[in-house]
Structure 1
Amino acid sequence: MPIWVLLQPRAYINGVQLFVGLILVYATVFIAGPTIVAPAFNLDLPANTPDLLPLLFVTVGCGAVSGFHGLVGSGTTSKQINLETDERFVCYLGSAGEGALALAAIIAVSAGFASLDEWRVVYSEFGNGGIPAFVQGGATIVSNGSGGLLRHETAATLLTMMAVLFAGTTMDTGVRLQRYIVQEWGDIYGIRLLRNPHIATAVAVGACLTLAFAAGGPDLTGGMALWPLFGTTNQLLAGLTLLVISVILVKQRRPIKYTLIPMAFVTTVALLAAIYQLDDLYEKGQFLLLGVDIVIVISAVCVLLEASSALKRNLRISSSKK
Structure 2
Amino acid sequence: MNAIVLAVFGLAVMFTGFFVYSRFVAGKILKLDPDFKTPAHTMTDGVDYVPTNKFVLWGHHFTSVAGAAPIVGPAIAVIWGWLPALLWVSLGTVFFAGVHDMGAVWASVRNKAKSMGALSGDVVGKRARSLFMIVIFLVLLMVNAVFGVVIANLLINNAGSVVPVWGAIAVAMVIGQAIYRFKWNLPLVSLVGVIVLYTLIWIGPQVPVALPETAFGLSDRALWILLLFAYAAVASLLPVWMLLQPRDYINGLQLFVGLGLLYVAVFVAGPTVVAPMINSDVPAGTPSLFPLLFVTIACGAISGFHGIVASGTTSKQLNKEPDARLVGYGGALGEGTLALAAIIAASAGFATFEEWKEVYSSFGGGGLKAFVDGGGTILHAGTGISPEVSATMLTVMAALFAGTTMDTGLRLQRYIFQEWGEIYNISWMKKAAPATLLSVGACLALAFGAGGADGGGGLLIWPLFGTTNQLMAGLTLLVVAVMLVRRKTNALVVIAPMAFILVIGLLALAIQIYDFFGQQKWFLCGLAVVVLVAGVLVALECIAALRKEQHEVAASN
If the length of structure 2 is used for normalisation, what is the TM-score? 0.56
Asked whether the equivalents of residues 300 and 338 of structure 2 are also in contact (C-alpha less than 8 Å), the reply is: no
The Cα shift of 1:224 comes to 2.3
1:214 has 2:423 as partner? no
Is 1:96 matched up with 2:333?
yes
Matched, 1:253 2:488: yes
8 Å Cα contact 1:213/1:222 also seen in 2: yes
Distance 1:211 1:290 in 2: 17
Which amino acid in 2 is paired with 1:86? Answer: D
The 3-state SS of whatever aligns with 2:451 is helix
* Corresponding residue SS for 2:297: helix
**Conserved? CA contact 1:24–1:142, under 8 Å:** yes
* 2:414 corresponds to 1:185: no
Distance 1:285 1:160 in 2: 36
1:44 aligns with 2:281: yes
Kindly provide the amino acid, as one letter, of the partner of residue 24 in structure 1.
L
1:59 positional shift: 2.2
Q: Show the 5 A alignment for 1:1-322.
A: 1-147=238-384, 150-322=385-557
Mapped partners of 1:154, 1:183: distance in 2: 43
Q: CA deviation at 1:61?
A: 4.3
Q: In the alignment, is the contact (CA less than 8 A) between 1:215 and 1:288 conserved in 2?
A: no
Q: Quick one: distance in 2 between partners of 1:217 and 1:286?
A: 18
1:82-137 per-position Cα deviation (integer Å, ceiling 9, x unaligned):
11121112223212211211111111111001101111111111111111110000
Moved more, 155-164 or 276-285: 276-285
The alpha-carbon deviation at position 199 of structure 1 amounts to: 1.3
CA distance in 2 between partners of 1:214 and 1:126 (Å)? 27
- Hey, which bits of structure 1, 4+ residues long, moved more than 3 A? none
TM-score (norm 1): 0.95
- State the AA in 2 paired with 1:249: L
Q: CA deviation at 1:286?
A: 2.6
Question: What letter is aligned with 1:114?
Answer: A
Note the residue ranges of structure 1 that are not aligned, 5 or more in a row. none
Provide Cα deviations, 1:204-234, integer angstroms capped at 9, x if missing partner: 1111112222332222222222221111111
Worse-matched range after superposition: 112-121 or 197-206: 197-206
1:193 is matched by which residue type in structure 2?
Answer: W
Taking only the aligned residue pairs, the percentage that are identical comes to: 57
| Structure 2 residue identity aligned to 1:125 | S
SS at match of 1:84: coil
Equivalent residues of 2:446, 2:457 under 8 A apart? yes
What secondary structure sits across from 1:50 in the alignment?
A: coil
Counterpart CA distance in 1 for 2:381 and 2:460 is 36
Could you tell me how far apart the structure 1 residues matched to 2:473 and 2:268 are?
38
Is the CA contact 2:299–2:335 (under 8 Å) kept in the aligned structure 1?
Answer: no
Aligned equivalents of 2:542, 2:320: Cα separation in 1: 29
Give 1:50's aligned amino acid.
P
Amino acid at match of 1:27: V
Deviation readout 1:265-285 (Å, 9 max, x if unpaired): 111110111111112122333
Contact 1:215 1:226 survives alignment (8 Å):
no
CA distance in 2, matches of 1:277, 1:213: 25
